[in-house]
Amino acid sequence: MKMSTKARYGLYACIKLAEKFGDEFISILDIAKEINVSDGYLEQIIAKLKKDGIVLSQRGSLGGYKLAESPLNVSVGRILRSVEDNLEIVDCLSSDCKSQCTCVSRGLWQNLYKQINLYLDGITLQQLVNSSNGMSRIYLDHAATTPLDEDVLRAMLPYMTDIFGNSHSQHFFGREAMAGVDKARQQVANAINAKPSEIYFVGSGTEADNWALKGIALQRASLGKHIIVSSIEHHAVLNSAEWLKNSGFDVTFLPVDKYGMVTPEILEKAMRPDTILVSIMYANNEVGTIQPIEQLSEIVHKGKAVFHVDAVQAVGSIPVDVKKLNVDLLSLSAHKFYGPKGVGALYIRNGLNIQKFIVGGGQERSMRGGTTNTAGVVGLGYAIEKAVKNLEKNNSHIKTLRDAFVERVTKEIPYVRYNGHPTERLPGNASFSFEFIEGESILMLLDFAGVAVSSGSACSSGSLDPSHVLLAMGVPIEISHGTIRFSIGKHNTMSQIDYVVDKLKEVIGRLRMMSPLFVLKEGEDKNV
Ligand code: PLP
């Protein structure tokens, strides 16, 4: 690929301008010195960037150059194309090809050229600045979302470019897109031991949960009006249940034990002859507790109720087999297992009747209207197949890191509480409550140290209300406020874990020194 020295220096210059982005103009001499190039040569390069509106200039004693917009909005592709004209990869793309015959390789190069540009357009100047600063950023928030795997992206890309047809169109373009959707449906079905006819693609885990609860409740309202959900569900389920309550259904919010577990006894007591739907999550997003779904399913199915399981946190993290679990509906979401955001699926057991939730066209066998997100669905299929194939290998790595993390935190930091079940929990989850301090402050100081965690579930952070999950588990309000969820993923390493524990000790120590509650406690302990 043609990328000259000129393009490289153009990029270096932009990185320097990005590092100093603000009101000030930077002199050409300063930039040239920093990137070790002559100012005359640099001036020619910057003239191109200026012509394309990437940099602004100012004359005079305070003159120089600055970026025209935030480095967050400037892509690497744009800079390289500005300096280089075109990032031609082979001559036959740049020169006017005189050949009249169909040239197979030209199409191939054109496609490669498109993909290279797409890739470069996806990287911002800010990302380059961050990596050139060498700031180590550690992501321990995989329960909120996971990074998209590169091979998943590669599988999706053709469906955003060449295979752009509407999968419901009758012509070749449509059939080609539909073939990708069909393959993904089969991949999802294989991953959870279902049939492809039982898989419905939706826009998110939230939509799958809404559809399951509202669709079943409205379908079965003539059989009864009682619905059961656990009190530690995600808000997608809890708020759907509230909506049904406001629409005349009677909803029981099941209590859990101190580990966040719905025991069979608790469920059995709540079941009634008019119970039509029970919804219990497979694994909790805040504390990671895994529910005994097989046992609970037996109880649900003693009556006429239908069993929905929100498996958004479980799929890709633990084995999920809808036949073995004996569930009627199950929700999943691609972005929790290194797939794309904004696409999920609802498993609906064959033969189960449910009302539509999103009405429109005839997509998803007329059960969910809306033009299919082909690229997203293809990414979901690819990601779930990969996650299931590598489940054991990834889990053994993730669990080793999690156990080492938990061991060090509980040993080295006093007044800490490990939330959730000691064994029945997601391999990557470690939820801790640090007494006498606020989770939000811990999160902020860890963020400054380059460590990303969550102070509760990502969806509810932003509110300072104590977590409904911790409260349901009986964690005292004042302790629940100091809770941090660490969720480990397949790319984390042991040295990152060690770094995080070291930083965490520092942060907790600093915050406790400022906490009147902690100072009081220390005083009491000394007097004993
Ligand atoms: N259910 C659970 C248990 C979740 O953890 C989440 C997201 O965090 C959802 C549902 C919502 O999924 P989505 O983000 O795809 O809407």
C-alpha neighbours within 13 Å on the C-beta side of residue 3: 15
Q: Identify whether the C-beta of residue 125 lies closer than 8 Å to the C-beta of residue 79.
A: yes
Ligand 1: list residues with CB < 6 Å.
Answer: 204-206, 209, 234, 236, 281, 285, 310, 312-313, 333, 344, 459
Angle between helix 39-51 and helix 76-84 axes, rounded to 10 deg: 110
Q: What integer pLDDT is reported at residue 116 of this predicted model? A: 78
Q: Which positions ≥6 away from 301 have C-beta within 8 Å?
A: 307, 326
| Interval between CA 513 and ligand 1 midpoint (Å) | 36
The pick from 234, 293, 335 for probing ligand 1's pocket by mutation, whose C-beta has the most ligand atoms within 8 angstroms, reads: 234
Query: Is pLDDT at 90 greater than 70 in this prediction?
Result: no
Contact 276, 216 (CB under 8 A): yes
On the question of pLDDT at 121 being above 80, the answer is yes
Rg of the chain taking only CA atoms, in angstroms: 27
User: In the prediction, which pLDDT does 203 show?
Assistant: 98
Distance between Cα 145 and ligand 1 center (Å): 9
Give me ligand 1 centre to Cα 206, in Å: 6
Residue nearest to atom 13 of ligand 1 (CA): 205
Q: pLDDT at position 1, please?
A: 47
The per-residue pLDDT for 133 is 61
Residue 157 CB neighbour total at 10 angstroms = 19
* Closest ligand 1 atom to Cα of 206: 16
The predicted-structure confidence for 468-511, as pLDDT tens digits, reads as follows 999 999 999 999 999 999 999 999 999 999 999 999 999 999 99
Q: Report yes or no: 78 and 121 within 8 Å, Cβ to Cβ.
A: yes
Closest Cα to atom 4 of ligand 1: 312
From 429, 469, 477, select the one nearest 453 (Cα to Cα).
429
* Most informative mutation of 285, 293, 318 for ligand 1 (most atoms within 8 A of CB): 285
Residues 196 and 182: their CA atoms lie apart, in Å, by 8
What are 263's two structure tokens? Answer: 């025991």
User: Average pLDDT over the chain, rounded to whole?
Assistant: 91
Per-residue pLDDT reduced to its tens digit, 423-472: 999 999 999 999 999 999 999 999 988 999 998 644 444 556 789 999 99
Tokens read off for 411? 């040993």
Q: Which atom of ligand 1 is nearest to the CA of 335?
A: 15
Angstrom distance (rounded) from CA 39 to CA 50: 16
4 C-alpha to ligand 1 centroid (Å): 46
Give the pLDDT mean for 395-415: 97
By percentage, how much of the chain surpasses pLDDT 90? 76
Residue whose CA is closest, atom 12 of ligand 1? 205
User: Cα angle vertex 318, ends 312, 322, to 5°?
Assistant: 70
| Higher local confidence (pLDDT), 173 or 116 | 173
Q: Which residues are annotated as catalytic?
A: 459
Structural contact between residues 218 and 356, judged by C-beta atoms closer than 8 angstroms: no
Q: What is each CA distance from 347 to 34, 189, 202, 244, in whole angstroms?
A: 57, 9, 10, 21
Ligand 1 atom closest to residue 458's alpha carbon, by position in its atom list: 8
Please tell me the least confidently modeled range out of 106-120, 219-233, 279-293, 505-519: 106-120
pLDDT in tens, 148-195: 999 999 999 999 999 999 999 999 999 999 999 999 999 999 999 999
Q: How far apart are CA 127 and CA 366, in angstroms?
A: 43
Query: Residue with the nearest Cα to atom 8 of ligand 1?
Result: 144
pLDDT above 90: residue 99: no
**205 CA distance to ligand 1 middle (Å):** 5
- Give, for ligand 1, the residue of 333, 429, 485 to mutate: max count of ligand atoms closer than 8 Å to Cβ: 333
What number is the average pLDDT over the span 377-391? 98
- Ligand 1 centre to CA of 415 (Å) is 31
Q: What is the mean pLDDT of residues 519-524?
A: 77
Q: What is the mean pLDDT of residues 258-284?
A: 97
What is the predicted pLDDT for the residue at 93?
A: 59
Ligand 1 pocket: which of 313, 373, 380 to mutate (most atoms <8 Å of CB)?
A: 313
Nearest atom, ligand 1, residue 144 CA: 8
User: What pLDDT score was predicted for residue 515?
Assistant: 82
Distance 476 CA to ligand 1 centre (A): 26
The H or E element that residue 135 is part of is none
Q: Grade residue 346 by pLDDT with cuts at 50, 70 and 90.
A: very high
Among protein residues, the one with the nearest Cα to ligand 1's atom 9 is 205
Cα(226) to centroid(ligand 1), Å: 24
Taking the centre of ligand 1 as the mean of its atom positions, its distance from the CA of residue 203, in whole angstroms, is 11
What is the pLDDT, as a whole number, of residue 115?
A: 78
Ligand 1: atom nearest CA of 285 is 5
Which of 123-132, 433-442, 512-521 has the least mean pLDDT? 123-132
Q: Ligand 1, atom 14: nearest CA belongs to which residue?
A: 205
Average pLDDT over residues 133-149: 89
Q: What is the position in ligand 1's atom list of the atom closest to the CA of 209?
A: 10
Strand order in the sheet with 199-202: 199-202, 344-348, 329-333, 306-310, 275-279, 226-230, 250-254
The pTM for the full model equals 0.78
